[in-house]
Amino acid sequence: MSLVTAALRVLAENPDIQAKLRQDRSLIPNFLEEMLRTEGTVKALFRLTKRPVRIGDIDVRPGTHIMLIPAAANRDPKRFDQPHEFIFDRKNARENVSFGRGIHACTGSPLARAEAKAALERLFKRIGEFRIDEAFHGPADARRYDFVPSFMFRVRTALHLEFDPR
């Protein structure tokens, strides 16, 4: 739900990207990876170290609580060129860590990706161009969105769109 909502917001505010994805649906998966990289739902994850570990140049003792911030990793300039820019056809967008990695990868991530892709494909097929409803979210230079109050998750409470009939 959060991935689809974030994707719809970006597409509604960027008609050029919306048009490109409508024209070539094969671009949708990479677009969604860039959405995950820049608009991931999980703000923070927590781990407890079991053995001594070195993170960067810091030694961490066993039993230490660690807070991981995927959004920071997803904007690492060593990994992503122009890390703060949304580039819908970014070549390495799939390297994002929004769903974790390795043994800590989210088991539902393939389903979330498939659902988001199917949702966009069906919307493109059934409705015309869409845009943000300014009556609810304000003009382009002063958008307002409400989020669920959480320090762990970034989830919009609503997204209001206007659309042209197909």
Name the residue ranges covered by the structural domains of the chain: 2-121
More confident residue, 52 or 102: 52
This model's pTM is above 0.75: yes
Across residues 143-164, what is the average pLDDT? 94
Checking if the pLDDT of 159 tops 90, the result is: yes
CA dist list (Å): 133 to 2, 136, 147: 18, 6, 17
Tens-place pLDDT, residues 87-120: 999 999 999 999 988 888 889 999 999 999 999 9
Q: Round the average pLDDT of the chain to a whole number and report it.
A: 95
Give φ, ψ of 68 to 5 degrees: -105, 140
Alpha carbon distance 53, 62 (integer Å): 8
pLDDT at 1: 86
**Percentage of the chain exceeding pLDDT 90:** 87
